[in-house]
Each structure stands twice: as C-alpha cells, then as structure tokens.
Structure 1
Amino acid sequence: MTQKPMIFPTFFLSGFECSTFDWKDQGRRDLVEETQHRSHADEDYRFLASLGLGVAREGIPWPLVERGAGTYDFSPVESFAAAQKRWKVTPIWDLCHYGVPDSCDPFDDQFANRFAAYAAAAARWVLEQQPHGPWFFTPINEISHFALMGGAWGWCAPFRKSAGDRRRLGMALAKADIFAAKAIRAVIPEARLIHIEPLLHVVPPRDRPDLAEAAHRAECVEPYEALDAIAGRTHPEWGGSPELLDIVGFNNYAFGQQEYKPEGGPYPALKPDDDRIVPVFDLILRGYRRYGRPIIIAETSGLKGGRDDWFRDLLLECMAAVNSGVDLHGICLFPGVDMPSWSEGGWLHNGIADLEELPSGTLMRKPCVAYVQELRRWQRKLKRVESLDEDPLDTPVELQDIVEAAREWKPRPDPDWY
C-alpha cells in the first residue's frame, strides 16, 4: 500500500476556547477562567487522551503573560503544559486568540515587532517545556474574523466600526503574524505553523441581485486577505512566503453560510432549509486549491442534540474532499469542553463535554454521549486509535487508510449536509 505520512499524531484533534478579548460591555475576559479549564487542565487532557485525541489547540494568552513590553510570565499556562506532558497530548499553541494587551495598539508602527518579541519568548518557553518535537503554533487565530469584530463591528478592542478600519486591522494583524512566524522559526526552525481562517459562503438577498458582487467579496476576497499576505502574494515587503503558509486551517460552523446585508455585519446565517446553502465540500475545495497547502478543519461543532449528526455529515463532506485530492490532515472537534456564548451568556452546548455548575461553583464535565459514540464509530471505520498509548509519537502515522476509505465509499457532496 502506498504510504501517506500524517503531520499530526492523530487524525481527530480537539482544543479549548481561550479567547482573551477586551469585550465591548464586559472588559477583559478570560474564557479559560470562565470554563475553569485552567484549574481542570489535568482532567480535561485526561479526557482527550481517553478519546484518542492526541492533539489539542491551546492558548498562550498574550494579554495575561505579558507584564510589560519585553517582560513575560508564563505561569498562567504552566498547568496546561504539565497536563499535556502527563497525558501525551501534543499542543497547537495559539499565541493570539482574540485579544491584545491593554497597552498595545494594533495600528501602531511597532505592533508587529512587539508581537514578534512575545512570540519568540513564547517559543523559548515552549521549547523548555517540550524539548522534543513536533512543535505547532498558530500565531494569530482567524485574522479576518478578528478584524471584523474589532475593526467593523466594535465588539472588542480596538472597537472600530468602519470598512476601512476592518481592512487596516486585518493587515496589521497579518503583518504581525508574519513577523511572529519568523520569530518562532528563529527559535525553533522545525516549528510547524498553522494559519486559520473561517470557511464562508455569502449570498445576496433574494430581492437584491445588485449586491452579488459585494457578497462575493465578503466570501471570496476578504476572508483570504491575510492568508494572501502571509503567502507573500501581497505586501511582499513584510516577508511573507509560501514557506510561512505552512499548514492552513479552516473553521466550519453553521453560521458560516450567510446572507449579505448592505448595512454591515454580522450577516444572518442561512436557515437549514435554505436552497442557497452549498456543500461544505465546495468551500474546502476552494480554500485548498487557492493555496495547495496541507489543511485541517481547525474548528467544527454542532449544537446541543445535533452534535453527532453534525460530526457525521461534516466528516462525509471531508471524505468527499479527500477523494478529490485535498491533502486533509485532521479534523478538530472544538471545543473539547463547552464554552459560553460571547455576547448572550449561557452555555452553547457545542463541546465534546458539557459543563454543569455544582452548588460549590465547580463546573462538572459531562461528556455528550451521542457525540462520543459517533467519534468512536468513525475512529473504528477509519482505523484510528481510540485512546492514546504511552508514546503516541513513537511510530509514524499514516493517512492512507483514510484515503482508501474515501475511495471505497465515494461520498457525494450534499447541499443538505447540515
């Protein structure tokens, strides 16, 4: 059988919500604290290991570890590193997951240099915790969405509300991402870099065909502006290159299929029975062909009782993409434990485990049984591990079983996929 080496130790990944934005009406937030993931780190990583999920996205929160320009304290993430080591889970370190320090202005000329200095310090800390690879980093998560939230919608700092500021913020973040990627590689030359953006499908209102071009820009131009810069296709003076666009991650949620509105976003999600919905296969294929880099689904989840159905349907769309030549190296079931709605409060019930508050205030982890059962079913069908052994990195992991399964099943893209 032809061998196809996999980048990660397991095909199914997970991760933890780690946003640290300065939110419009609530100030600085720490989603890790809100989910009690920091104090439950050992339990949470043991849970992932028991499910055979050997890779987890985890944050090193810039606003919490930087004590001043050039001064860093990584104690807020020490429990994560210890738990990863104990349970043999390989981290993907997010260095900026929605949030910059209070004293930091993304529009300042020195922003990229300041972020790069922090990224280098974070890489040195990671190397101390994890002397042997592989090492994975996401410098800045979802630049295009961060630019919308902070540049166009005023949801989080820097609280701007214009199309021009959206683009300025996005480009400032892209430049900082490039500088940080180079700083990480200066410390760890073998580091793998994962750049993550959402998969979007945006349509004009049925009665406004004149908005088709604007909807196309929102779908096919704006979400890729940062990746184009990182790849060196635009702003070559920043030093982007295909080498830096190492691995591309695409996030997929139901609200990624939207109807454009001229007064600005966020755009409303299409209802599940809308005939304008396209197969997610189409979106994966478009993103992959644009860059030709290895990809992962970097976040995906359904809600409440639909999580198992979502996972099954999304996986079949992914298998159709593999059958069309997409170099897919993983699907990240995100988050591993539930998370609160950013703006409305309350739990989203989108994790592999839900959270239930006990009288003591402790958030008890309760696995979603149907979701776990669906994961187990696909691990068996795809010949993936169902729990981690003592050394998940001791032998190369091959993707060929997945390629062969896709060929055998011949899944067809489905516009009614969710």
Structure 2
Amino acid sequence: MTHFLFATGIENSAPTLQGGRVRVDQMRDCGHDEHYELDFDLAVELGVNALRYGPPLHRSFVGPGRYDWSFADATFRALRRRGLTVIADLCHFGVPDWIGSFQNPDFPELFAGYAGAFARRYPWVQLYTPVNEMYICALFSGKYGWWNEGLTTDRGFVTALKHLVRANVLAMRTILEVRPDALFMQSESTEHFHARVPEVLAQEAFLNELRFLSLDLNYGRDVSASMLEYLLDHGLTRQEYAFFRAQRLTPHCVMGNDYYVTNEHCVFPDGRLEPSGDMFGYALITREYHRRYRLPVMHTETNAPQGRRGTEAADWLTKQWANVLKIRNDGVPVVGFTWYSLTDQVDWDTALRERNLRPYPVGLYDLDRRIRPVGTAYRELITAWRDVLPAQSVALTLPLTPAPTNPSCSPPPR
C-alpha cells in the first residue's frame, strides 16, 4: 500500500521550566486529555490520513523499565479504530522528573528501552519520530537556557545534542528489532541564517553549519573540520563521534523538516539573531537539506497564526503547499505534508518559556474544537489533491505495510 501522507499532529511536548519546578504539558493544557475521542474524530473529518501523535513521555515512563500505558492504550486503541496512520512521537522536548534533563548520560539507553517497550506493545505502528527536533531541544535547553536544564553554554548544548541524537539512534535500532519495516520521519527544524552586514559573514557560515549537526550525527555523515573542532572542544569525545559515524540507518529514514516563518534568521554584529521572515522559503532551503542527505522528504510541521483578516493562516497554507509542489516538480521525493497542530496551542507566543495558558491561534480548530478558516482550506486541499499525487509520481508515495491483526499482536498485559 502506498499513498501520500496528508497529516496533522497533536503536540505532546512537555519541557520543564524554573529548574524543573514547572512542567509544561501541551496535551493537558490544550484539553486533549479530556477530548481525545473528539480530536480524533476531527482529524478524520478533515480527511487527513496520518497523525503525528504519542503519549506524554513524562507520564508514561515512570521509572527504569516501568511504564504506565493506561492513556496510551486508550488513545492508540481509538486511533486504530479510525484507521489513521500514526507517526509515533515518543520524546518531545522533555523527560520524566526522575531522569532530570538531557544532560543525564543515562538518558539514551533508558529512552531506547522505552521505545522498544512501546514498539512491542503497539506492533501495528510502523512510522516513528523517536526524538522530535533534536537541534531545537538542545539549543533551547542547553544554550538559550529556556527549558529543562536551563544552561547557557556551548558545552550544555553539545552535551544535550549528543544525548538526544544517541537516544534517537538507539531507539531506531531497538524499534527495528521489533518491527524490521519501521520507517523513521526525523522531524527537525529547517533553518537558515543571513548575514546582516559583511562583518558577520564568518558567524553566518558557522551557524549555517551548526544547524546540520543533529542530522549529520543521526545519519552518520562526516561533519566539517570546524564543526568537529567545535564538538570536541565542548564535550563530544572521539569515541562518541566514532559511534555516530558508524550509523547506517538511512535506508529506514525519511528526512522530516519543519518550517515556520521564524526559521530564517538575520545575524547582527552584536551577536543578536532576529527572525528575517521567509526570505528564501521552504523550497529553497529544503533543496539544501536534500542535496546534503539525499533522503525522501516529508514536510513535518508548519503553521501560522490566524490574524485580524482571518485568512493569514490559510494564505500561509497555500504558500507552503505551493513550495511542496515546486520541489516535487524539481525532483525532490516528497512523501507528505503536515499542518501542525490539529488544535490551537497554548503559550507558543513565548516558545513555551512561560506557563500562562494563553491560547495561540495556529490550529486547524480552536480550543473549543470549532474549525478555523485554515482547517476548511486544508480539508479542501486534501480533497483536491489526495487522488492525484500518487497517480502522478512514485516519488510522492511511501510504502506502508498493513497493520498486523492476528491475536499475537495484541498488547501484552500491563
């Protein structure tokens, strides 16, 4: 079975703030815990055939080798009844309190155990994002001081990054032991940096290499000499680098890339970075990433807030879809597109740095589960294109295996 993936997502991000004293929990704060059956019905109503979704890690991973699958059992049973393809999102910006933070060197092996337990319990799930946006998570937690460990150093960033990527790699390996045909959609932020003045060209070049680090390590690609020097100077060991270079998991991978209007940045002489708007845009930057990794591509996240006119988000959807069609026509193998998320989020206006419970109008539905204009536009887009793309190009299809239905694939007892 092959088809183009028209997707949305329900975010399960859960970073901590204020030294771990405050936990952000998007599923709880956006009402999904209480309304998951309705949310899944809304996804079906839109016509999407895939959903980025996973249980909140901090609630389901309760100790070493100990798991609470009660919420996951209920929600994944409901998803399977509806026939939605799940892209399982297992770690989204946070870890359980007992692990602490992404500075913990035990995190990769612990998480791989969790991923294996998940795969054994839900063997019908084929598509995975083991660790979401590794670069962004390491940057915000280890370098900007916004989340989790709250560090503001290059060593904090490199340490978080190497643990996040190692966790992702070990999870892929473990999942493949359970389901050898698993496919991994590595949702990662698609970035670009623009020098504002000639004096910052060297810094621009550095940042435009740094943005690739998570995927370079994840896919076993050699980094440049300057990046290797940076990594070794700030906590990566030669043995750890050898581990990443030895990885050969790309045959199981789709490069998922996320693009928002804030993903391009102006670099200023005083070191400041400011959003530049979509100066290059999704198509041009995705071609850069595709030339580097030569993997199939999925646009795994985008959105824009609904503004005063009421059409701003729908206009952004039109623009992103045009970019997807453009790179498809240029020969980039695109297998799917995602508007993220299904509903509005809370506190995205502060990048989850504060827990104000303030709605941010980026969803296909608002938090009262009323459809937004962009939701109507996405439903119409799916209706128009879903039967055309697979017939036009095999580069736009993804091989999927029907979920096993025999009794031996039922979840084991808790």
1:119 pairs with one of 115, 118, 141: 115
| Matched residue, 1:366 | 370
Residue 69 of structure 1: CA displacement? 1.0
| Matched residue, 2:253 | 246
> Is 1:230–1:244's contact at 8 Å kept on the other side of the alignment?
no
| Matched residue, 1:284 | 286
Q: Provide Cα deviations, 1:266-313, integer angstroms capped at 9, x if missing partner.
A: x321257xxxx1132111111111111111110011111311100001
Q: Provide Cα deviations, 1:120-159, integer angstroms capped at 9, x if missing partner.
A: 11111222xx3xx5x1111110000001110011111111
| Matched residue, 1:140 | 131
1:20 pairs with one of 2, 5, 14: 14
> Is 2:37–2:78's contact at 8 Å kept on the other side of the alignment?
yes
Q: Which moved more, 1:102-111 or 1:330-339?
A: 102-111
Query: Which residues in structure 2 correspond to 1:117-196 (within 5 Å)?
Result: 117-127=113-123, 130=124, 135-196=126-187
**1:38 is the counterpart of 2:33:** yes
Query: Which residues in structure 2 correspond to 1:206-355 (within 5 Å)?
Result: 208-218=197-207, 220-234=208-222, 235-238=241-244, 239-243=246-250, 246-261=253-268, 267-271=273-277, 277-304=279-306, 305=310, 306-341=312-347, 342-343=352-353, 345=356, 346-355=358-367
| Matched residue, 2:94 | 99
Q: Which moved more, 1:98-107 or 1:155-164?
A: 98-107
Letter in 1 for 2:192: H
Q: Classify 1:384/1:211 alpha carbon distance in 2 versus 1 (closer, same or farther; 3 Å).
A: same
Report the 3-state secondary structure (helix = DSSP H, G, I; strand = E; otherwise coil) of the residue aligned with 1:398: helix
| Matched residue, 1:61 | 56
Q: Classify 1:10/1:213 alpha carbon distance in 2 versus 1 (closer, same or farther; 3 Å).
A: same
- Normalising by structure 2, we get a TM-score of 0.82
Residue 340 of structure 1: CA displacement? 0.7
| Matched residue, 2:233 | none
Equivalent pairs counted in the alignment come to 365
Residue 72 of structure 1: CA displacement? 0.8
Residue 379 of structure 1: CA displacement? 2.8
Cα separation, 2, equivalents of 1:333 and 1:216: 30
**1:382 is the counterpart of 2:385:** yes
> Is 2:335–2:395's contact at 8 Å kept on the other side of the alignment?
no
Cα separation, 2, equivalents of 1:382 and 1:338: 25
Cα separation, 2, equivalents of 1:92 and 1:178: 17
Residue 373 of structure 1: CA displacement? 3.3
Percent of pairs identical after alignment? 24
Cα separation, 1, equivalents of 2:62 and 2:378: 41
Q: Classify 1:383/1:20 alpha carbon distance in 2 versus 1 (closer, same or farther; 3 Å).
A: closer
Letter in 2 for 1:41: Y
Cα separation, 1, equivalents of 2:393 and 2:16: 44
Q: Provide Cα deviations, 1:205-234, integer angstroms capped at 9, x if missing partner.
A: 3xx32212212332x322221111121124
Gaps of 5+ in 2: 223-240, 397-414
Q: Classify 1:185/1:42 alpha carbon distance in 2 versus 1 (closer, same or farther; 3 Å).
A: same
Q: Provide Cα deviations, 1:217-257, integer angstroms capped at 9, x if missing partner.
A: 32x32222111112112434244224366111000101112
Residue 166 of structure 1: CA displacement? 1.1
| Matched residue, 1:391 | none
Report the 3-state secondary structure (helix = DSSP H, G, I; strand = E; otherwise coil) of the residue aligned with 1:258: strand
Gaps of 5+ in 1: 356-363, 386-396, 405-418
- Normalising by structure 1, we get a TM-score of 0.81
Letter in 1 for 2:370: K
Cα separation, 2, equivalents of 1:403 and 1:108: 40
Q: Classify 1:282/1:399 alpha carbon distance in 2 versus 1 (closer, same or farther; 3 Å).
A: farther
| Matched residue, 1:409 | none
Q: Classify 1:270/1:77 alpha carbon distance in 2 versus 1 (closer, same or farther; 3 Å).
A: same
Letter in 2 for 1:96: C
Cα separation, 2, equivalents of 1:367 and 1:156: 31
Cα separation, 1, equivalents of 2:394 and 2:340: 21
Cα separation, 2, equivalents of 1:44 and 1:66: 24
| Matched residue, 2:106 | 110
Letter in 2 for 1:22: T
Q: Classify 1:292/1:242 alpha carbon distance in 2 versus 1 (closer, same or farther; 3 Å).
A: farther
Give me the CA root mean square deviation: 2.3
Report the 3-state secondary structure (helix = DSSP H, G, I; strand = E; otherwise coil) of the residue aligned with 2:94: coil
